[in-house]
Amino acid sequence: MNTTIQNILVLITLGLALAFLVKKFFWKKSAPKKSCGGDDGCGCH
Amino acid sequence: MSKQINVALIGNPNTGKTSVFNALTGLNQKVGNYPGITVEKKQGVCKLPRGVKAHIIDLPGTYSLNASSLDENVVIELLLNKNDKDFPDIAVVVSDVENLKRNLLLFTQIKDLEIPTILVINMADRMRYKGISLDIEYLEEHLQTKIALISTRKNEGIDELKQLISNYKVVSVTPCLNPSNIDKTYFESLEKAFPNQSLYKLWLVITQDVNFGKTDRNEVQAIASFKTKSKADLKRLQQKETIKRYQFINNVLKKGQTIDRSQAKDLRSKLDRVLTHKIFGYLIFFIILLTIFQAIYDWAQIPMEFIDGAFASLGELTKNTLPEGAFTNLIAEGIIPGLGGIVIFIPQIAFLFLFIAVLEESGYMSRVVFLMDRVMRRFGLSGKSVVPLISGTACAIPAIMATRNIESWKERLITILVTPFTTCSARLPVYLIIIELVIPEGRFLGLGYQPLTLMLLYLIGFGTSVFSAWILNKVLKIRSKTFFVVEMPNYKLPLFKNVGLTVLEKTKSFVFGAGKIILAISIVLWFLASYGPGENFNNAENIVKTEFASQNLSQGELQQKIASHKLEHSFIGITGRAIEPAIRPLGYDWKIGIALISSFAAREVFVGTLATIYSVEDDDVDTITNRMAKDTNRITGGKLFTLASGISLLLFYAFAMQCMSTLAIVKKETNTWKWPVLQLIIMTAFAYIVALIAFQFLK
């Protein structure tokens, strides 16, 4: 029982670590939406 | 009845403007606030020759008419609003003789508003200490103004100033800069839309976000035939305006002002003469560098030993306290050693940043930039490249971003391409651990071999970036030129608070920035090192027992053999051994190979990776350095970390582009993958060749 819980915890930790690394190095952040309220050269006029 | 005129005292902060105000008004002054805001309004009365009375306003200090604060808004609002009861009949711009060039920017802006403007050059008593001489007649002619050379400290020139103010009607109102020189088309269209208005005044109305009373930006934009530019374009024009103004100021000062530093007698000038001397300057800088690197080693030794021991004990404590199992092993063998590998370098990194902060705060760093500029020019780089190259000692990413102020694309590109050679703080843990393993602790002329090696690595990094810049300058066929201006701040004693905050902030960003990546990679590495496919891994115990049955190994030795066998056949071991043939000629084994690959995420991961791998392999309580020192090369049977393999590894890290984030920022700044890919290939190939030669020669 104890071994199973420990193995589950290892897998969860591994999953979190992999998710963090993928997010850090491969996840492309979407560009923030620019306001179209003024003449800020955002190209939407 | 005597006539009263309005006089506005304007100037950059710290020019002695308030002293001029006090000298003119004496006790006839009062202090209040501008309506609705908390900006102090100082005004007073002064009696001038010929019975003229002056109402003097001491306006808040401002560097230019491009307002960025409430104080500065007050100045612009008054100067643009003729209906204001305080609108000046004459503006008196107070400047400081030591910073005349910078102060004249504001002067030319105010003069272009077509207000009679007098230039006061304060602190004239400092001229002979500073070796400064001024041709007042020439300056008056070319700036088209009247100049009062005064010293409020010695109470000299105040009567002459009063005389000039009282003659305000004869002061020229001719502008210094024709706005059409900034952008002909734009200003012609502006003039067409508003034929009877001052062009510069309109320009300020458009660009400044302040309340202009009767003339506001809506009125400007209301004219259908007039098309305003985007904010970005307006900013560009503002920058162009500043450049044009400085070109005008430079031309005037070229003949109107002479600065002979050799005649200067003040302490700052004396220090500058030595610290920026073409021989002693470099010698002193070299001695300072030596002292810093020696101190990094000597001072950090005790806290480092403490941290190393503490993490080893923490790992053991975790293993003994928590219930046995995979998760406990992950914490004790993966996470704790991985983190320990980075925390151990906090003392040395903190000391390095402490010294850098002290050099910056004291004003010495600007002298270093000036010194380096002389060297850089010989290699085809602008002095502006010095700042990114020096800031690259912290991290290449902000350094590459700092190249944005280099106007010439060629110089900017070269600086971007060579900056990663500068020794960044992420290389420091790698250098420190390898130096400790392979360089003896002895001393030469009182200087330790280890700090000398570290300093040599920094010099190699800087030398390579300058040398590569020279090659790139010859290879890249782009013609362009930029200018370099650096302001030398006064020398001062560093403030403890400022230095402390810099050290704290830099160390924090080093630990937490890299720490999260190291923690995640340590977890993945531990998993890959603790599990493996096939019989060789799963049946390791039986295989080892059978293999060593004839030898009388102790229980401890047998366990060690089993752990090594398992590690070699784990996922990480299989991957490492697959790449081993490529790195064997450099003197590395598969463990170093894994560390090289994982440290591509961030160089400092190298130490964390080795710490995790050794921890999985070896159950004994020991420090990372001792574990690495004990390791043997499974092919040669000798020690893994020898002088040859250590130097090879140091040189590999000095030249290789081992940083994903740097590649990403180079792509972002050059807007193409061409340059980062070329950078990666060339730097890695160069690092490989140099490391190979070093190992083959030294082995």
- The band of A37, judged by pLDDT with boundaries at 50, 70 and 90, is very low
Burial grade of B53 (CB within 10 A; 0-12, 13-18, 19 or more): middle
Across B306-320, B397-411, B446-460, B527-541, least confident range: B397-411
pLDDT for the residue numbered A45: 30
Given a cut of 50, whether residue A42 has pLDDT beyond it is no
pLDDT for the residue numbered A33: 43
pLDDT for the residue numbered B38: 46
Instruction: Please indicate if any CB of chain A lies within 8 Å of the CB of B519.
Output: yes
pLDDT for the residue numbered A34: 39
Query: How many CA within 13 A on the CB side of residue B281?
Result: 20
Given a cut of 60, whether residue A35 has pLDDT beyond it is no
Which of B233, B324, B523 lies closest to A14 in CB terms? B523
pLDDT for the residue numbered B501: 83
Query: Which of B218, B327, B517, B660 to mutate against chain A (most A CBs within 10 Å)?
Result: B327
Under 8 Å CB-to-CB from B558, ≥6 apart: which residues?
A: B544, B545, B548
- Paired with B592 in beta bridges are none
Q: CA distances (Å), B659 to each of B526, B610, B656, in order? A: 22, 18, 9
CA distance linking residue B392 with residue B381, whole number of Å: 16
Highest mean pLDDT, choosing among A27-31, A40-44, B348-352, B576-580: B576-580
Displacement of CA B81 from its chain's centroid (Å) = 41
pLDDT for the residue numbered B532: 87
Please check whether residue B77 is in contact with residue B37, taking contact to mean a CB–CB distance below 8 angstroms: no
- The band of B293, judged by pLDDT with boundaries at 50, 70 and 90, is confident
Q: What is the pTM of this model?
A: 0.59
Q: What tens digit of pLDDT does each residue of B603-649 get?
A: 877 887 787 777 666 655 567 777 788 887 777 778 888 999 999 99
Which among B180, B683, B281 has a CA at the least distance from the CA of B468? B683
Calculate what percentage of chain B has a pLDDT beyond 90.
19
- What's the rounded mean pLDDT across residues B556-574? 81
Three-state DSSP class for residue B6: strand
**Domains parsed from chain B with CATH numbers:** 4-170 (3.40.50.300), 179-262 (no CATH), 515-698 (no CATH)
CA distance linking residue B295 with residue B351, whole number of Å: 8
At residue B576's C-alpha, the angle toward residues B624 and B561, to 5°, is: 60
Strand pairing report for B132-134 and B90-96: unpaired
- What's the rounded mean pLDDT across residues B120-139? 87
pLDDT for the residue numbered B506: 77
Q: What is the dihedral of CA B265, B268, B273, B278, to 10 degrees?
A: -170
> Is pLDDT larger for residue B84 or for residue B39?
B84
Take residue B614 and report the two structure tokens written for it: 């050794």
- The band of B233, judged by pLDDT with boundaries at 50, 70 and 90, is confident
Given a cut of 60, whether residue B162 has pLDDT beyond it is yes
Cβ-based neighbour number of residue A28 at 10 Å? 5
pLDDT for the residue numbered B479: 64
Which of B230, B326, B330 lies closest to A39 in CB terms? B230
Q: CA distances (Å), B607 to each of B386, B397, B408, B564, B588, in order? A: 30, 21, 39, 19, 15
Which of A7, A17, A39 lies closest to B523 in CB terms? A17
pLDDT for the residue numbered B189: 81
Which residues in A lie closer than 8 A to residue B660 (C-beta atoms)? 25
CB contact under 8 A, A17 and B524: yes
ipTM above 0.95, yes or no: no
Which among B185, B643, B642, B663 has a CA at the least distance from the CA of B417? B663
Displacement of CA B300 from its chain's centroid (Å) = 25
Given a cut of 90, whether residue B202 has pLDDT beyond it is no
Question: Following DSSP, what letter does each residue of B31-96 receive, concatenated?
Answer: EEE-TTS--EEEEEEEE-GGG-EEEEEEPPP-S-SS--SHHHHHHHHHHH-TTSTT--SEEEEEEE
Under 8 Å CB-to-CB from B328, ≥6 apart: which residues?
A: A6, B318, B319, B322
Average confidence score pLDDT of chain B: 82
- Paired with B6 in beta bridges are B55
Given a cut of 80, whether residue B132 has pLDDT beyond it is yes
CB contacts < 8 A, A to B, total 60
CB contact under 8 A, A20 and B516: yes
Which of A2, A17, A39 lies closest to B325 in CB terms? A2
Which residues in B lie closer than 8 A to residue A10 (C-beta atoms)? 326-327, 330, 527
CA distance linking residue B53 with residue B7, whole number of Å: 10
Which residues in A lie closer than 8 A to residue B232 (C-beta atoms)? 40-41
